[in-house]
């Protein structure tokens, strides 16, 4: 069991951040996943104990959201968007190539335990389709060649920088950041001109939102 007293203390810290402690359940699940690589029975028990919930209540949440895994995952999570826009612009080709290269399918982990693959319904980044994420860091306007190059570097243990700045550090590090613990990347770029095109066009046309009557 890798849930040490430090993890328990951090879980209690998360609970204290919210007026209602049960609001900390989602970040707390990310915390235990960052430690154990998945949401284990021990992790569920920890969350239930700290938040005064039943294990059934915690398990219901953990199994509802796809970002929480109930099985062992690889060191790196690779998500390929294959929704309509991304799929048509290259997402389907990227998925086919990566899946064949690594010998793994949706929600599966490679034999060497390095990569877990997932077909993503939407990455909420359609302006940069096709989009791939590695450990939930964005690789915008992806290509088969670009993704293959990134995965090849990770296999060698080399640094890989996402298109928005942060360096890929492994899924457990990302899970800890999602739990709410600072990873030092708060100032990394997240918005570019392509994302602001619609807003800038509206400003140029003098378009504004209607005033609320509430």
Residue 1 has pLDDT above 60, yes or no: no
Q: How far apart are CA 110 and CA 177, in angstroms?
A: 24
Note the Cα 134 to chain centre separation in Å: 8
Q: For residue 178, give the nearest of 2, 41, 24, 4 by alpha carbon.
A: 24
Q: How far apart are CA 125 and CA 136, in angstroms?
A: 12
Residue 44 has pLDDT above 70, yes or no: yes
pLDDT of residue 191: 73
Over range 19-34, report the average pLDDT. Answer: 97
Residue 183 has pLDDT above 90, yes or no: no
Over range 194-207, report the average pLDDT. Answer: 87
Question: What topology does CATH give the domain 76-171?
Answer: Glutaredoxin (3.40.30)
Q: Domain segments of the chain: what residues?
A: 5-62, 76-171
Q: Are 98 and 80 in contact (CB under 8 A)?
A: yes
Over range 175-187, report the average pLDDT. Answer: 85
pLDDT of residue 197: 83
Q: What sign results for the dihedral spanned by CA atoms 97, 103, 109, 110?
A: negative
pLDDT of residue 11: 97
Determine whether 185 is exposed, middle or buried from the number of CB atoms within 10 Å of its CB (0-12, 13-18, 19+).
Answer: middle
Report residue 81's pLDDT band, with 50, 70 and 90 as the boundaries: very high
Q: How many CB atoms lie within 10 A of CB 21?
A: 17
Residue 48 has pLDDT above 70, yes or no: yes
Q: Are 7 and 31 in contact (CB under 8 A)?
A: yes
Which carries the bigger pLDDT value, residue 158 or residue 1? 158
Token couple for 107: 């929600």
Report residue 147's pLDDT band, with 50, 70 and 90 as the boundaries: very high
Q: How far apart are CA 29 and CA 11, in angstroms?
A: 9
Which carries the bigger pLDDT value, residue 56 or residue 190? 56
Residue 187 has pLDDT above 70, yes or no: no
Q: For residue 151, give the nearest of 89, 96, 77 by alpha carbon.
A: 77
pTM equals 0.86
Please report, for residues 51, 140, 189, 211, the alpha-carbon distance to residue 200 in angstroms, rounded to integers and kept in the order given.
45, 21, 18, 20
Determine whether 111 is exposed, middle or buried from the number of CB atoms within 10 Å of its CB (0-12, 13-18, 19+).
Answer: exposed
Report residue 23's pLDDT band, with 50, 70 and 90 as the boundaries: very high
Q: What is the dihedral of CA 195, 201, 204, 205, to 10 degrees?
A: -150
């Amino acid at each position: 069991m890798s849930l040490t007293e430090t993890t328990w203390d951090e879980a209690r810290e998360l609970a204290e951040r919210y007026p209602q402690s049960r609001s900390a359940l989602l970040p707390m699940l990310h915390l235990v996943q960052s430690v154990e690589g998945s949401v284990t029975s021990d992790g569920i028990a920890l969350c239930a104990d700290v938040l005064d919930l039943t294990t059934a209540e915690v398990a219901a949440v953990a199994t509802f959201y796809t970002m929480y895994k109930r099985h062992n995952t690889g060191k790196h999570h690779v998500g390929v968007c294959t929704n309509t826009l991304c799929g048509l612009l290259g997402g389907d080709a990227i998925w086919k190539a990566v899946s064949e290269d690594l010998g793994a399918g949706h929600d599966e982990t490679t034999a060497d335990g390095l990569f877990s693959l997932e077909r993503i319904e939407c990455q909420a980044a359609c302006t940069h389709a096709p989009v791939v994420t590695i450990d939930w860091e964005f690789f915008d306007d992806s290509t088969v060649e670009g993704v293959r190059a990134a995965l090849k570097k990770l296999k060698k243990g080399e640094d890989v920088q996402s298109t928005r700045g942060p360096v890929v550090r492994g899924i457990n590090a990302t899970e800890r950041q999602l739990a709410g613990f600072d990873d030092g990347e708060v100032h990394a770029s997240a918005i570019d001109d392509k994302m602001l095109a619609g807003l800038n066009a509206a400003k140029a046309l003098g378009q504004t939102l209607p005033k609320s009557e509430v």
